[in-house]
Homo-oligomer: A and B are copies of this chain.
Amino acid sequence: MSSLRELARMLGLSITTVSRALDGYGDVAVATRERVLAAAETTGYRPNSAARRLRRGLTEIVTMVLPAEPGHFNEPLYIELLRSTGERLAQQGYDLTLIAALPGPDELKTYRRLIEGRRTDAIIVVRTRREDARLRYLTDIGFPFVAMGRSDFAEPYAYVDGDGEAAFHDAALRLTGLGHRRIGHLAAPSAFTFAHLRRSGFARAMRDAGLPGEIVEDSATEAGGYRAASVMLAQAEPPSALLCATDSMALGAMRAVRERGLVAGRDIAIIGHDNIPAAAFSDPALATMELPIAATGRRLAEMALARIGGADPRDMTEINPVEFIPRASLGEARG
């Protein structure tokens, strides 16, 4: 049956009672409730979502806005994130919608269309930037949102992030522990908070160890890693270890290393971050770091639901540890 009215007529009850029985209100006799539930089950009744959304003023939709820079979009991470977030939302009857927005002046337009057209109850912002107009806008209008990643934003907001600063600090110290003295960092564009934090962790470790520590910045892709590594290796005294902001960059760096006749894991240590599937099968296998992405997706979903329910974002800030995954590209301790 497609409507509450039909179901009510069929049961000889009012629409009100059927509705309240289905929603589990207390003012319906147990026998009645069971009769209603049974009938709903056998007829396969599903409430019309548009009607309930109109009436309740909720869309039961959460939207994730993905960065749509051409070529930068295809990070395997995001699909896993979508999957885990979507599954968690589905448990509460929420749908996950997805839109792509190019960073730039029109970016906020996308958000406005979503919000003012009441197309979503909450927004999940990914790939946060240090200066992020999106967080400013969403905070100003008081719209519920959750960020994956942090930002240099003064007001409180809900976020989940990996502790990239600590992870890169520790990874760099791991390299000095193996005897490396010239260590390079292939950084991603520092406008992105994740890139900035990883770079800071690296820099702090270099200060701790009293080493110079070189940094070259490029885009967070294989091509960017290739370019950055090429620059670094062209120096008079090239580094003996490369700590890369992402696995994609590390895979690009590996090619630059090969092209100069060096062997990763023997002549030069390489470490990435993300643990993408290809990392375990590169030559040599890429040492990397991993954030529990499925858990992150679930937490984002839960936080979004909590924000919709009016919860205070102050209580929703989570920085998770990153696991180091040693592989052949890390190499041995050196004399």
Copies in the complex: 2
In the complex, residue of chain B having the shortest beta-carbon distance to the beta carbon of A60 = B119
Interface contact A118-B48, CB-CB below 8 Å:
yes
In the complex, residue of chain B having the shortest beta-carbon distance to the beta carbon of A120 = B95
Q: Which residues of B contact A276 (CB under 8 A)?
A: 74, 278
Interface size on A, residues (CB 8 A): 55
State the Cβ distance, A57 to closest chain B Cβ, in Å.
Answer: 8
Interface contact A50-B48, CB-CB below 8 Å:
no
Q: Which residues of B contact A48 (CB under 8 A)?
A: 54, 117-118
Contact with B along A114-150 (1 / 0, CB 8 A): 0011110000000000000000000000000000000
If the complex has contacts A53-B50, A87-B100, A98-B82, are A281 and B116 also in contact, measured as CB distance less than 8 A? no
A97 interface neighbour in B51, B61, B283, Cβ under 8 Å: B61
Interface contact A74-B73, CB-CB below 8 Å:
no
Interface contact B66-A73, CB-CB below 8 Å:
no
Q: Which residues of B contact A281 (CB under 8 A)?
A: 222, 226, 251-252, 254-255
Q: Cβ of A83 < 8 Å from any Cβ of B? A: yes
A98 interface neighbour in B97, B248, B252, Cβ under 8 Å: B97
Contact with B along A267-308 (1 / 0, CB 8 A): 000000000111011110000000000000000000000000
Q: Cβ of A78 < 8 Å from any Cβ of B? A: yes
Q: Cβ of A96 < 8 Å from any Cβ of B? A: yes
Footprint of B on A, CB under 8 Å?
44, 46-51, 53-54, 59, 61, 66, 68, 71, 73-80, 82-83, 86-87, 90, 95-100, 112-113, 116-119, 221-222, 226, 248, 251-252, 254-255, 258, 276-278, 280-283
In the complex, besides A74-B80, A82-B98, A96-B97, 7 extra interface pairs with C-beta distance below 8 angstroms are A49-B117, A54-B54, A73-B80, A74-B76, A248-B277, A255-B283, A276-B278
